[in-house]
């Protein structure tokens, strides 16, 4: 059956019947067949009813408001080097093209953490992330920063969580104890089985064993006994190698239960996806998602993070004019103490918005106003605009019709999956055990 779409709504169907996504505020409704047909025929009264369903509720913010919340999440770029030499690294192994020649000192980390805790009236949970280069090159700082933030959290009655993105090859027993003992979201960069991973993520000095074996040996004890840590695997998909199924199996085989894929869209020195890749990638992602959906229908968790996260966002009605918190609730601190809107933009003056002594609020407001999805002409008429939100700011320059078609096709698949699962296994959405 043909289904209709407009900037205000997107029609789709599932095994459960006919549905509509009302674009503002991402509201999903089941439709009687006769109403669905009237809507698809463009009947004025049906379209007006859908438009009314997209109005803000009493406590909902207008979607076009520019808000500058108190930051609740920072990442600290603690290291300016890495023991691997991945060709696609956005950070040039932590040096950011020469902008970050030295690692962060504890004094810089402490000032940033104390700035995050500065709003004494707030009770919002805080998150402190560690990035690099490879963050565990600067492990002493991580251990001290976690101790300091935890102490402040106890003193000030604030909940504090941590995150780290790591290649995991350098983890030692003390690091594992630290990760187990705190609420740590640990993201491990692993691109597939040994052959794929070692080819894409070689050791900087090429010694044996390769990075895959080092990673699996080092992360094994944490996977077996994670304590308070939540561990996720994230794989970068390079052009020409879009088949996900084998990689997924290989990564699951290591012991991960949460695996996400990110296609390489742009990198300083190697080419990212071009228009020919998206369709292949979509087919592979959907095929893998179908098998994970079967698991979910049988009452088991979804291990594919791309799908689990999308379903969770649809369930909570996620709708935002921003793809991420960059410059809003989230900032990334360079080793020299400057605050940037995004960790991929260290050294880029357009993203530099202050330091631990204070943010440049007018510059921040200008940054956010220029990057809302409403400021992007192509996005304004797209039904996916409050789910995709215009995408990552770093990737705006490589957005094409083919990459947008991929996003819409993927979201359409996820909407259908969401309705199927809501009927077939509603308990799925009550659990917190899924990879999301
Ligand atoms: S980036 Fe593309 S898919 Fe996303 S909202 Fe804009 S036009 Fe739509
Ligand atoms: S701009 Fe892109 S890389 Fe930066 S925080 Fe947002 S989504 Fe992440």
Q: For 166-177, write each residue's pLDDT tens digit.
A: 999 999 999 999
Q: What percent of the chain has pLDDT over 90?
A: 87
Cα–Cα distance measured from residue 100 to residue 114, given in angstroms and rounded to the nearest whole number: 22
With a 6 Å cutoff on the Cβ, whether 378 touches ligand 1 is yes
CB 116 within 8 A of CB 128: yes
The length of the chain is: 436
Q: What distance in angstroms lies between residue 155's CA and the mean position of ligand 1's atoms? A: 44
Between the CA of 433 and the centroid of ligand 2 the distance, in Å, is 26
Atom of ligand 1 nearest to the CA of 376: 6
Among all bound ligands, the one having the nearest atom to the CA of 344 is 2
Closest CA to 149 of 88, 75, 203, 222: 75
Q: Identify the pLDDT of residue 433.
A: 46
72-98 residue pLDDT tens: 999 999 999 999 999 999 998 989 988
Q: Is the pLDDT of residue 215 over 80?
A: yes
Residues 129-174 have pLDDT tens digits of: 999 899 999 999 999 999 999 999 999 999 999 999 999 999 999 9
Residue nearest ligand 2's atom 3 by CA: 344
* The predicted structure's pLDDT at residue 3: 55
The pLDDT, as a whole number, for residue 66 is 84
Contact present, 10 and 383 (Cβ < 8 Å): yes
CA 275 to ligand 2 centroid distance, Å: 22
Per-residue pLDDT averaged across 234-250, rounded? 93
d(CA 314, CA 3): 20
* Closest ligand to Cα 165: 2
**Cα–Cα distance measured from residue 399 to residue 323, given in angstroms and rounded to the nearest whole number:** 14
- What residue owns the CA closest to ligand 2's atom 7? 392
User: Residues near 380 by Cβ (< 8 Å), separated by ≥ 6?
Assistant: 7, 373, 374
Atom number of ligand 2 nearest to Cα 324: 6
Ligand 2 contact, 262 CB (< 6 A): no
CB of residue 342 inside a 6 A radius of ligand 1 = no
- Residues facing residue 326 across a β-bridge: 330
Q: Give the residue, by CA position, lying nearest to ligand 2 atom 6.
A: 324
378 CA closest ligand 1 atom index = 7
Predicted pLDDT of residue 2: 44
Is the shortest distance between the CB of 408 and ligand 1 below 6 Å?
A: yes
> What distance in angstroms lies between residue 59's CA and the mean position of ligand 2's atoms?
28
Task: Tell me: pLDDT of 1 over 60.
Answer: no
Q: To test ligand 1's pocket by mutation, which of 24, 26, 408 has the most ligand atoms within 8 angstroms of CB?
A: 408
Tokens encoding 407: 């996003």
Q: Quick one: pLDDT at residue 65?
A: 85
- Residue 391 Cα to ligand 2 midpoint, Å, equals 8
Per-residue confidence at 432, pLDDT binned at 50, 70, 90?
low
CA–CA dist 315, 41 (Å, integer): 28
Task: Report the nearest atom of ligand 2 relative to the CA of 345.
Answer: 4
Residue 49 in contact with ligand 2 by CB distance below 6 A: no
Q: What integer is the mean pLDDT of 235-253?
A: 93
At 391 the three-state DSSP class reads coil
Position 431 pLDDT exceeds 50? yes
Nearest ligand for residue 391 CA = 1
Shortest-distance Cα residue to atom 2 of ligand 2: 392
Atom of ligand 2 nearest to the CA of 343: 4
**0.85 exceeded by pTM:** yes
- Cβ of 344 closer than 6 Å to ligand 2, yes or no, is yes
Q: What is the pLDDT of residue 64?
A: 87
User: For residue 436, what pLDDT is reported?
Assistant: 47
Quickly count: other Cβ atoms within 10 Å of residue 85's Cβ.
14
To the nearest whole number, what is the mean pLDDT of the chain? 94
- pLDDT value at residue 242: 74
189 DSSP β-pair partners: 234
Distance 389 CA to ligand 1 centre (A): 7
Question: What confidence tier does 67 reach under pLDDT thresholds 50, 70, 90?
Answer: confident
Q: Distances from the Cα of 27 to the Cαs of 18, 221, 385, 389, 425, in angstroms?
A: 14, 42, 13, 15, 20
- Ligand 1 centroid–CA 404 distance in Å is 5
**With a 6 A CB cut-off, is 384 part of the ligand 1 pocket?**
yes
Per-residue pLDDT of 349-395, as tens digits, reads: 999 999 999 999 999 999 999 999 999 989 999 999 999 999 999 99
């Amino acid at each position: 059956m043909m289904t209709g779409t407009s900037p205000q709504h997107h029609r789709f169907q599932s095994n459960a019947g006919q549905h509509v996504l009302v674009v503002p505020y991402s509201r999903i409704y089941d439709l009687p067949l006769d109403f669905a047909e009237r809507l698809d025929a463009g009947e004025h009264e049906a379209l007006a009813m859908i438009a009314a369903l997209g109005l803000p509720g009493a406590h909902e913010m207008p979607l076009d408001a520019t808000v500058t919340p108190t930051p609740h999440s920072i990442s600290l770029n603690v290291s300016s080097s890495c023991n691997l030499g991945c060709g696609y690294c956005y950070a040039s192994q932590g040096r950011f093209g020469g902008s970050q020649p030295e690692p962060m000192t504890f004094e810089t980390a402490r000032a940033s953490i104390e700035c995050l805790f500065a709003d004494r009236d707030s009770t919002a949970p805080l998150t402190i992330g560690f990035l690099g280069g490879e963050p565990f090159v600067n492990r002493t700082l991580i251990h001290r920063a976690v101790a300091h933030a935890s102490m402040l959290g106890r003193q000030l009655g604030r909940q504090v969580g941590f995150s780290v993105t790591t290649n995991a090859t350098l983890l030692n027993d003390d690091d594992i104890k630290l990760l187990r003992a705190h609420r740590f979201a640990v993201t491990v960069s692993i691109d597939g089985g040994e052959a794929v991973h070692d080819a894409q993520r070689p050791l900087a000095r090429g010694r044996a064993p390769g990075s895959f074996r080092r990673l699996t040996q080092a992360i094994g004890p944490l996977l077996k006994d994670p304590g308070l840590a939540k561990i996720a695997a994230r794989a970068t998909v390079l052009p020409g190698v879009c088949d996900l199924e084998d990689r997924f199996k290989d990564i699951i085989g290591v012991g991960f239960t949460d695996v996400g894929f990110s296609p390489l869209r742009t990198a300083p020195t190697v080419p990212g996806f071009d228009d020919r890749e998206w369709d292949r990638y979509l087919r592979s992602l959907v095929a893998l998602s179908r098998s994970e959906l079967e698991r979910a229908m049988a009452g088991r968790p979804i291990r594919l993070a791309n799908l689990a996260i999308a379903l969770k966002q649809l369930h909570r009605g996620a709708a935002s004019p921003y793809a991420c918190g960059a410059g809003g609730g989230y900032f990334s601190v360079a080793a020299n103490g400057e605050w940037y809107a995004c960790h991929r933009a260290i050294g880029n003056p357009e993203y530099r918005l202050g330091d631990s002594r204070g943010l440049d609020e007018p510059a921040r407001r200008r940054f956010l106003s220029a990057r809302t999805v409403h400021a992007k002409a192509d996005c304004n008429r797209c039904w996916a605009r409050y789910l995709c939100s215009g995408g990552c700011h770093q990737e705006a320059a490589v957005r094409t019709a083919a990459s947008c078609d991929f996003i819409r096709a993927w979201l359409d698949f996820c909407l259908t999956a969401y309705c199927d699962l809501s009927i077939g296994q509603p308990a799925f959405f009550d659990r917190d055990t899924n990879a999301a």
